[in-house]
Amino acid sequence: MSEIELKDTQPKPVKEGHTSVAKKKFPGWLAVVVLIALITIGILGGYDSGMSKRYAAQNTLVTGQLQEQYQLGLQAIDAGQYEVAKQHLEYIIQHNPNFPGVQAAYTELLLRMLVTPTPTATLTPTITPTPDTRSVDEIYNNVIALLTAPGEDLCARDWNGILSKLDSLRKADLAFRTAEVDGMYYVALRSRGMCKIYPQTYEPNTYCEDLHINLEGGIYDLTLAERFGPLDTDAAALRTWARIYIAGASFWDQDWVQVKDYFSQVMSAVPNLSDSSCVSAIERWRQASINYAKQLMDKGKFCEAEDQLNDAFSINNSKNEPFYPTATYVYNECHGDNEAPAPPPSDTGTPTPTGEVLPTETPTLPVIDTQTP
């Protein structure tokens, strides 16, 4: 190998200070910035953690206080101390209107105050035909006085006037005591609806014509009340029976089987429920049984007609007496009595405005035993 070739294969010396990759120094100012950033993050993290713990402790304390007020309110309701309970529940509503259970408890309290008001001094309601222009606080106190006034039947209260005052209150200040006013709306609409459907519960000695029964209006009021809170069991059930009553009446003179089915349900729960005709559910069922019996007699189905007449006679009503002779004839026809007297006239009567069939003449046929079981 030549001397030239050997030199080419040997590494070349590198001069000091001229490396292929120059060494760079880390800037000192950047290190300071990173150090400050780390310290700041640490401080902020600790502050945030401390504040979170502080807020959590504060919320726990407030929640505990509200829970204590809630329990005291429930205890006062159970003890009949309604004014005390009202103070506890309103304190909760002012601080947290969404506190679990408080609105339902407040509504229940108002309902109890309606039925059994606490004997405390109340404001005297001011009645005026002109628009109510008083301050919202005065309107609010006036409504409270009307709702808790002692010595009045539930249906004797002026629910239209109370609802009108609540409307005035809402128009004056939409945000004024929202939860409490919602509860008052619920109570007023529920009570007015109940009274439209079944006022006999509260005024049993009043003539039906003077009660202004309105099933459809009562159902509507209860549906409006449901916007402010779930209906209680009594109100929801009464609304259901009113709807079934209306459904049964819609089949009157069209399908006696359907009529009997609907009114049998109503009379089992609310026998005296009626509509504006003042014909009770149990009376409609009795009349439907007689009308259905007539229909079956016209078809020669005397045994089935006998069952319908027995249904009608199971109701202790003096209006059944004119149909006893007809029942005797139907009984004999069903059981094959060859010595049965001549049947009564084929036209057993003309329907009255309430749907009842009255005989055109009083038959003189023998009377069977029709005592109420």
> What is the reported pLDDT for 42?
65
In-domain check, residue 366: no
Location of structure tokens 């010396």: 13
Q: Is 249 contained in some domain?
A: no
Q: Which of 231, 262, 283 is the last residue of a domain?
A: 231
pTM, entire model: 0.63
pLDDT per residue as tens digits for the range 23-42: 455 566 666 667 777 776 76
Asked whether residue 144 falls in the same domain as residue 201, the answer is: yes
Does 186 lie in the same domain as 93?
no
Strands 357-358 and 350-351: antiparallel
Beta bridge partners of 351: 357
From 188, 207, 231, the end of a domain falls on: 231
Note the pLDDT tens digit of each residue in 68-100.
778 877 877 777 777 777 777 777 777 777 778
Is residue 131 domain-shared with residue 218, that is, in the same domain?
yes
Q: Is residue 17 part of a domain?
A: no
57 with 158, same domain: the answer is: no
Same domain, 46 and 102: yes
Q: Is the pLDDT score of 368 beyond 80?
A: no
Per the domain annotation, does 93 fall within a domain?
Answer: yes
Burial-class residue 192 by CB neighbours within 10 Å (0-12, 13-18, 19+). buried
Q: In which element (H, E) is residue 350 found?
A: strand 350-351
Residue where a domain stops, chosen among 53, 79, 114: 114
Domain extent for 67: 39-114
> Which of the 8 DSSP states describes residue 346?
S
Per-residue model confidence as pLDDT tens digits over 217-265: 999 999 999 999 899 999 999 999 999 999 999 999 999 999 999 999 9
End-to-end CA distance of the chain: 140
Q: Residue 73 to residues 1, 60, 85, 363: CA-CA distances in angstroms?
A: 111, 20, 4, 68
- Together in a domain, 127 and 227: yes
What residue type is 295 in one-letter code?
Q
Alpha helices in the chain (DSSP H): 3-8, 28-78, 82-95, 102-115, 136-148, 159-172, 178-197, 215-225, 233-250, 256-269, 281-298, 302-313, 324-335
Does residue 259 lie in a domain region?
Answer: no
Q: Which backbone phi and psi does 213 adopt, to 5 degrees?
A: -65, 135
State whether 88 and 160 are in the same domain.
Answer: no
- Number of domains, the chain: 2
Same domain, residue pair 211 and 135: yes
Residues 146, 66: one domain? no
